[in-house]
Chains A and B, each alone.
Chain A
């Protein structure tokens, strides 16, 4: 299976949690090309998680719309899957059962589930833990299980809400690299929300900055770097500096 991803278009998205409450974000417009890795950077509280929940169909927007190749996202679907800060695995299931649960929901045949689960577990490098209790795994391994649980559905778009922020630096670095390369090889659009500029530079093709209250998309920066990226690379450093400066300007402008 090799696809090329979908065109994501977010149009005039506005959200408030209650009719009299504050506007979480206002008139957000975003486009993302098929197969692109898009990073959304912003301070905490600017509405990034809310935006991702709406993009996943888990929350309804107040106005505006999200389309994937002209199909509107209106409810949750295995075609657009979200990953959270914490893995939220099902602790009564072993690794392979966690990974296969979505296929079970979709009434796949037993052997089809086994085949896809096995393949996906291999993809995230957890073969030797397939039968393990998820509670025996490290934080990074658990997040890999959560990743596999999403990937097994072969989604068109994977939404990541600061998924590595609870991990140590080494684990984070290897996951950042693996998630990007897996998404590229499977032709999945990635939208990753982060407050880490480093993460954006290491993972994204393009980064947008969200700032203000209500939040708005302020700036957009192309991250044109080769696939092999390390934090020490001068090219990486250069874009990082640029992003840092833009971020600082965007966020001070509103205060």
Chain B
């Protein structure tokens, strides 16, 4: 009897989940449809005004026409790889500096007090404003861009790590020590799993800013990357190619964010 009830409950729970997913897909599809319609309308406006007619390739159908060339020529892939490489290194640097800095902020009162004002100040400076300095300080343009990305991405990681540490129940350490935990055990079994969710949330934010910063950062000094491709298409009046690149930036960003979200879910133990 009990078993029957529980099977009935699981199957109805499964139905609920399917309904929820379908509903979400439906709304996503409709939302995308509206976006596409607006895009199309914008393209139509450009096309129907003689003053802007030369920009008509921004519209959806010329853009779709430009996709095969962008893909087959390898332009899109090369540009994505170049940007992805800079993003990856920049983000990695931001993570390996942001987490220790966040731990310092979370664990040391003196460091927290000392660093709070300068960090809040630095955080408010647009990462792109460092560009002239980065170009002088770094031997190559590539490294300058990576530096800019790190500057943008380090704050969310550091602040999220500190916030995660602040939420730890201090009694966990007492319990762990009581049960014979070593310093290493406490780090591995208590601190890291406890803050993984917050750190991952910070990384997601960092990825978001880094992805936004990378395009304008690639406008100057280099001949690869999605930012460069935008600049290059603009100069050659290839507006269809430009729109395809924008589309690619959006899709890649969306996918990376989705991966981060999945990881956040994986590391989350919080109940609301």
Q: Is the interface of B mostly helix, strand, loop or mixed?
A: helix
Nearest-neighbour CB distance to chain A for B229, whole angstroms, equals 43
Chain A residue at smallest Cβ distance from B269: A92
A135 sits at the interface (CB 8 A): yes
List residues of A (162-212) whose CB comes within 8 Å of B's CBs: none
Nearest-neighbour CB distance to chain B for A48, whole angstroms, equals 16
Nearest-neighbour CB distance to chain B for A220, whole angstroms, equals 27
Q: Which of chain A's residues have a CB closer than 8 A to the CB of B181?
A: 105
| C-alpha spacing A106/B182, complex, angstroms | 9
- Is the Cβ of B174 less than 8 Å from the Cβ of A86? no
A102 sits at the interface (CB 8 A): yes
**Known contacts A84-B171, A86-B171; is A58 also within 8 Å of B194 by CB?**
no
Interface residues on B, range: 20 to 34
Task: Type the 1/0 row for B138-177, where 1 means its CB is closer than 8 Å to any CB of A.
Answer: 0000000000000000000000000000000101101111
Give which listed residue, B169, B189, B269, contacts A101 with CB less than 8 A: B189
- Is the Cβ of B179 less than 8 Å from the Cβ of A88? no
| C-alpha spacing A181/B181, complex, angstroms | 28
The residue among B169, B176, B180, B271 with the most chain A CB atoms within 10 A of its own CB is B180
B16 sits at the interface (CB 8 A): no
A90 sits at the interface (CB 8 A): yes
Give which listed residue, A81, A92, A93, A135, contacts B179 with CB less than 8 A: A81
- Is the Cβ of B178 less than 8 Å from the Cβ of A88? no
Chain A residue at smallest Cβ distance from B184: A105
| C-alpha spacing A101/B180, complex, angstroms | 10
A91 sits at the interface (CB 8 A): yes
- Is the Cβ of B179 less than 8 Å from the Cβ of A153? yes
Give residues in A with beta carbon < 8 Å to B.
Answer: 56, 58, 76-78, 81-82, 84, 86, 88, 90-93, 101-102, 104-106, 135, 149-150, 153
Q: Which 10 A-B pairs have the closest CB atoms?
A: A102-B179, A92-B269, A88-B171, A78-B180, A105-B181, A76-B177, A76-B178, A105-B180, A92-B193, A105-B185
Give residues in B with beta carbon < 8 Å to A.
Answer: 169, 171-172, 174-182, 185, 189-190, 193-194, 269-271
